[in-house]
Chains A and B, each alone.
Chain A
Amino acid sequence: MKKILVVDDEENIRLLYQEELEEEGYAVEVAAHGKEALDKLNTFRPDLITLDIKMPGMDGVETLQKIREVQRDLPVILCSAYGEYKQDLTTWASDAYVIKTSDLTELKDTIKTLLSLH
């Protein structure tokens, strides 16, 4: 079973993603901030990470840099309500960029595609 780490500072989004992705047949762990995400990288050893960008403390972009330092090939999907980060070069280090909507089809499709490539 593939393992997904969901990183988001909003509890409801964490709950939503966890339930939806578990129903898709993934093992899901959640982290509320960048620090927690980096800790779980070693304990949980996920196959893919969904990463919120706007978070208090260490934001998603910074967390992404840190992840890349230890795991270059781990697929990371940036999930944000903000479309304009797409133009930020630092987000290009991610494998995909998905703008949050209530319809999770795009997110799920992206996860499936990325996991099948790896």
Chain B
Amino acid sequence: MRIKTASAQRERDILGKIIRISHSSLEIDARLTEIVGILAKAFSPDFCGLYSFHEDKDSFTLTASSGPDDMKLDSPCRYQWENLLREVSQSRQPSFFAEGDQLDVDLRRRMPNVTGPISLALVPIADDGFFYGVLLLYYAQPKKFGDGEGELLLIVGREISGTFRNAQLFSEAIARGDATRLAEEKDRQANKLSLLYEINNALLSTMKFEEILHIILTAITIGDGMGFNRAMLFLTDERRNYLTGMMGVGPDNAEEARNIWEYLEGRGGNLARNLASLSRNYSPKGTHLDERVRRIEIPLDKGECILTRTVREQKPFSIDSEDSTLTCKGDCELHKEVNCVLEPESPGGIRPYRFATVPLWGRERTIGVIAVDNIYSGRAITGEDIKLLTMFTRQAGLAIENCILYKYLEDAHRELKKAQETLLQREKLAALGEMAANVAHEIRNPLVSIGAFTRRLYQKLDNGLYEKRYADAIIKEVDRLEGILNDVLSFSKASKVVFERFDLNGIIEETLMTMEDELRLQGIELEKSLDDNVPEIPCDYQQIKQVFINLLSNAKDAMGSGGKLTVRSFPLSHDGRDYIGIEIGDTGRGISSEVLHNIFNPFFTTKGEGTGLGLAICHRIVDGHHGLIEVANNPGRGATFTVKLPVQRKGADEEDFGG
């Protein structure tokens, strides 16, 4: 999934720069020149001009420009520009002229010094009924303006209009004498906007849940961010109706706080990049505070808790212990964990404890709450602080919600992929089985002839003849080949299951009986614990016996001589269904991790002899029974295979009876 397109990012960057400049404290003309410079760089026109309109004189002047001098208003093409500008001033609509498009012949004729194809963009600098002029972009070549570019230019036009308007208000204010207050106000406004812009950029840099949370909380606590001492984030768990602590960011004591602040002051640089890189290095093993916040769980209907009230009432709270009508009684989990009330015995007497909460809004509901405090600095939390924090949490809430949705999507995607892989594996096996069966049958007839005729030959030859030994060798090899064919055929046949009720313990006992001698010969100890409460279950006797034979002989082969074979049966529950578990464990070499993922694939083998079908057959048979086969592996110390077979068959599988 692509989170954002490159062009959208580019547009945001351009706009971000322009917004910062238009809110800066530079003189208006300098600001306009800067803006034109940014536009010239971003759109690369051959000439970019900002014409301000003077209502009293009904004329335009070129206020800022970028490009050759002869393009300016007092050059030979003055007449034509002025005409075009006037049209925009009347329509208040942007015009885009492109060669072969709307560029009329007359216009071209009136510009004798322009010979090649040209393109023009004229954008009104207007907003809310105010009109301040026209922004003009000129290209000495054909140029198509994309929808995104057109819209961006319109927004830029509005932003410049705001700059003009502010300047106008400012000069009016100077006339009234309250310039300083206004300038300060404007500075703060500008800082706020660019801060939010920076944080937003940082939030866009990741889709990882923990990183998003960490960026949000760091932005709240970082010095050139919002500068709170500590920040804690809680999300609602609607299913359980609880408010759950997700993360806390902030120093654990005043000394640590000083160190961090000093460190951050020394860093400098771009806030967005700092935030993003801080959060990328973020490790889940957080601070003491973080650990404690993650332990907090508060029932959402708890009445007196400020946190849950914030969620319920969807409004911010600010609690100031010095002067407050709303005091926290300190009997909630938050208090216990982060000590959020007065510290009466702290050295300098009673220190004011200030904290505030703001709700986290999603698209349609409150998804949580952010709590902030100034426990170390004791700095008062102003209405301005809360306002900024509220503005920010609107962005933050959306980012978190997006991220959660993205996580759902990712999970769903992963599930789908897993299902697809299982399906593929099954198809692969089915195709392979069919092919194997065909080949096996074709081989079987000639093999019968070879083997049986050699047997006849063997009987006719006198004992002691070399030829008799040769015949014997052929007979043995043919027997082996026929054994392999039986393996392949039982593998390809495994999809046809004949279900009847059988006692699994009985099948195991029978299988073990046939192996007793071999186990004794190899000095293998047998530890058997079969649960008498295991009920009879529907299964295909032959197939299940085959599974036990394969697993037991694998276990036996893995141990060589000596060792202990463990066989257990027991009832168990899995995903709400009843199963019987059969565990077969050995004390052999175990399975090396490189091959572990291969063991259920057909024709995979690590044994010197064998077809590599044993486990594939088991897997297939167990699959046909809607059961599970799992392996617990301990390289060098042994492996334990567990077969889980359902006690009840699924209703949808009745057709298996007909097979």
Residues in chain A within 8 A of chain B (CB atoms): 10, 12-13, 16, 19-20, 54, 81-84, 87, 100-104
29 A-B contacts (beta carbon < 8 Å): A10-B445, A10-B449, A12-B446, A12-B453, A13-B448, A13-B449, A16-B449, A16-B453, A19-B456, A20-B456, A54-B441, A81-B441, A81-B444, A81-B445, A81-B448, A82-B441, A83-B493, A84-B493, A84-B496, A87-B496, A100-B445, A101-B448, A101-B482, A102-B449, A102-B451, A102-B454, A102-B455, A102-B478, A103-B452
Query: Does B160 count as interface, using CB distance less than 8 angstroms?
Result: no
CA distance A33 to B414 in the complex (A): 57
Q: Which residues of B contact A82 (CB under 8 A)?
A: 441
Task: Name B440-473 residues within 8 Å CB distance of A.
Answer: 441, 444-456
Task: Name B464-499 residues within 8 Å CB distance of A.
Answer: 475, 478-479, 482, 489, 493, 496
Q: Contact partner of A102 among B448, B489, B496, CB < 8 A?
A: B448
Q: Which residues of B contact A13 (CB under 8 A)?
A: 445, 448-449
* 7 A-B pairs with least C-beta separation: A102-B451, A81-B444, A12-B449, A102-B452, A100-B448, A81-B441, A16-B452
Contact bitstring B410-452, A, C-beta under 8 A = 1, else 0: 0000000000000000000000000000000100111111111
Range for the number of chain B residues in contact with chain A? 20 to 34
Q: How many A-B residue pairs have CB under 8 A?
A: 52
Q: Which residues of A contact B475 (CB under 8 A)?
A: 102
Q: Is the pair B489, A83 in contact by a Cβ cutoff of 8 Å? A: yes
Q: Which residues of B contact A102 (CB under 8 A)?
A: 447-452, 454-455, 475, 478-479, 482
Residues in chain B within 8 A of chain A (CB atoms): 441, 444-456, 475, 478-479, 482, 489, 493, 496, 659
Instruction: Name the prevailing secondary structure of the B interface residues.
Output: helix
Minimal Cβ-Cβ distance residue in B for A10: B445
Most buried by B among A19, A54, A84: A84
Q: Which residues of B contact A101 (CB under 8 A)?
A: 448, 451, 482
CA distance A17 to B659 in the complex (A): 33
Minimal Cβ-Cβ distance residue in A for B449: A12
Q: Is the pair A87, B445 in contact by a Cβ cutoff of 8 Å? A: no
- In the complex, besides A81-B448, A87-B659, A103-B455, 14 extra interface pairs with C-beta distance below 8 angstroms are A12-B453, A16-B452, A19-B456, A20-B452, A20-B456, A81-B441, A81-B445, A87-B496, A100-B445, A100-B448, A102-B451, A102-B475, A103-B451, A103-B452
CA distance A51 to B618 in the complex (A): 33
Most buried by B among A10, A13, A20, A100: A100
